[in-house]
Amino acid sequence: MNTRVANVFDDEVEVQHGPHFVPKNPRFDVDRIMHSIRNFATLSEALRILGAAVLVASMSLFLMQGWSEGNDISRYLMLLAQTGLLAAAGFALSHGLKEAKGARLFFGLALVSIPANFTILGALLYSVLQWDGGLSSTYPGYAHWEIQNIASTGVTLGGAMIVLLPITMFCFAIMARHSAKALSLHFFALNMLLLLPIRSSLAAGTVALLGTVYALYFVREAAKKDRALKTAEGRFALITLFIPTGIILFRSMYFYQVDSLMVAMLSMAAFLAARQASIFPDRSPRVAFALDTLSIPIALTFAFAVTGALVPHLAWSLTAPVFSIAYAALALDLLGRTESTVLKGAIGVSICLLVSASFILGVGIEQSALTAILGLAAGGLLLLSGIALRHRTASFAGICTLIASLLFGIEALLALVLASSWIDLAIFGAGAITLGSILDRHGVAINLYLAKRFGRISQHNEEVSLGE
């Protein structure tokens, strides 16, 4: 290889004949320079994360240090001051140092601290006003908030609103400028739920569930109108809408008695949140699959919790229908939206097996005519669905349910028939004939709808539909 050595600015450079120029001096190594820049950027991000964590810890410590000094209003004012200082720090970084990333981090921390403010304001209000009569609970020291008189409540609430409202609007203007007004309005409305003087399981769970549905509806509509909400800052702004309802649920579960109804409300809220996240525009397919998979045990938990909450108020024969309807409703919704064929198959099998098992267990424990009739009805529906959808598991589960219902309930059914009058039997027979006629007239349409619904349509069904 022909080479020559030249001295350029006292640097030894090797020049090869050809299109490439390779400097030996590290000062001219572009790769090393870019590597240093990347390392610096990584270090900056790490420092920001560390700083955010320290600030969150300092907020908690700041509150704890003043427990013995002054009253609870002065303690709250310290938290309110911290929220204002966080927003001021973000403003200083943005306009002083012209550093956007650090400023947004401060604004984000200020935004997260606003639900904490409303939580404490709600505790102060609950100390003088209880819509549920007040629940007996022993609070730890950090959670015990009490106001001296009701007049101070209005003054504290009014002063806090004057400070928190502009901070909320300013923070959202930084995170999502085009949707700042709407986000501020709905965020503030959801935080107002924390002020409601209720703590009972039914009331708190209902409020949290309604708040979650409200937030999910707004998120869905806002994401359609503003593409900026699909950015990291926009998604963070949307996530903050769910903080108030999350606090309501956590507060009720941590400080008060957790019953089946609260678990049902919590699982339903989690299911709806996972649903919205899985169908969010531009979401990752892997994330959607993970959320859909997680939704299966959540739906099962909801079904058990609802059944447990209603058992004291229902006859045992109705527990199987309640459980089956609760689980099947959520599972069918999941089945309709998931894109994974493997997950669709697993969901379909779970519906068939769980519905069949619940009715078999019901008629096995209570061998009455009602449980037998309900079991026969469930088994017949499973069998017909299996035939229509060509689903072997559904057909097998239907046959098993029919056989078990007949075996366990045959005596009760015979006793019912013998005890019934001819009018009852005539009505039952007429109803059966009418149902058969409906199925004969609209059976093809029902079959086609079910096949399309679950993505199992066949060429045979299309030909039959066109022929008619």
Domain map of the chain by residue range?
1-53, 260-408, 420-468
- CA–CA gap between residue 297 and residue 343 (Å, rounded): 13
Q: How many CB atoms lie within 10 A of CB 379?
A: 25
Task: Report whether pLDDT(325) > 70.
Answer: yes
- What are the CA-CA distances from residue 128 to residues 60, 124, 131, 140, 146 (Å)? 25, 7, 10, 19, 8
What is the spatial distance between Cα 277 and Cα 464, in angstroms, rounded to a whole number? 39
Under DSSP, the state recorded for 135 is: -
Q: In the prediction, which pLDDT does 347 show? A: 92
How many Å is the maximal CA-CA distance in the chain? Answer: 117
**Does residue 67 or residue 73 have the better pLDDT?**
73
pLDDT band at 437 (very low <50, low <70, confident <90, very high): low
Single pTM value for the model: 0.67
Ramachandran angles phi, psi of 7, nearest 5° = -100, 115
Taking alpha carbons only, the member of 158, 182, 153 closest to residue 168 is: 182
Residue 90 has pLDDT above 90, yes or no: no
Do 321 and 367 meet the contact criterion of CB atoms below 8 Å apart?
no
Q: How far, in Å, CA of 169 to CA of 23, rounded?
A: 54
Give Cα separations from 312 to 260, 267, 308, 445 (angstroms).
11, 20, 8, 40
Per-residue burial over 253-289, b if 16 or more Cβ lie within 10 Å, else e, is beebeebbbbbbbbbbbbbbbbbbbbebeeeeeeebb
Is residue 4 within a helix (H) or strand (E), and if so which, with residue range? strand 3-8
Nearest residue to 51 (alpha-carbon basis) of 92, 125, 104: 104
Pairwise CA distance, residues 292 & 294, whole Å: 5
The mean pLDDT value for 107-131 works out to 87
Whether the Cβ atoms of residue 353 and residue 299 lie closer than 8 Å to each other: no
302 or 434, which is more confident: 302
What average pLDDT score do residues 91-109 get?
77
Tell me the C-alpha distance between 436 and 428, whole Å: 12
DSSP 242: G
Q: Is 283 helix (H, G, I), strand (E, B) or coil?
A: coil
pLDDT band, very low/low/confident/very high, at 456 (cuts 50, 70, 90): very low
**Pair 199, 131: CB distance under 8 Å:** no
pLDDT of residue 252: 80
H/E element holding 111? Answer: helix 100-126
- Give the pLDDT of residue 46: 65
Three-state secondary structure call for residue 79: helix
CA distance 110 to 468: 65
Least confident of 293-297, 356-360, 370-374: 370-374
- Radius of gyration of the chain from its Cα atoms, rounded to whole angstroms: 32
Is residue 436 exposed (0-12), middle (13-18) or buried (19+ Cβ within 10 Å)?
A: exposed
Question: What is the residue type of 399?
Answer: I
pLDDT, one tens digit per residue, over 242-254 is: 999 999 988 887 7
Between CA 432 and CA 411 the distance in angstroms is 21
Backbone angles phi, psi at 156, to 5 degrees: -65, -45
* pLDDT greater than 80 at residue 189: yes
Asked if residue 187 has pLDDT above 90, the reply is yes
Instruction: Provide the 3-class DSSP secondary structure of residue 15.
Output: strand
Q: Please determine, for residue 363, whether its predicted confidence score (pLDDT) is greater than 60.
A: yes
Whole-number Å distance between alpha carbons of 298 and 140? 31
What are the tokens at 134? Answer: 């007040």
d(CA 17, CA 3): 7
Which stretch of 55-64, 206-215, 338-347 has the lowest confidence by average pLDDT?
A: 55-64
**Mean pLDDT, range 202-231, rounded to an integer:** 88
Q: What is the DSSP letter of 134?
A: -
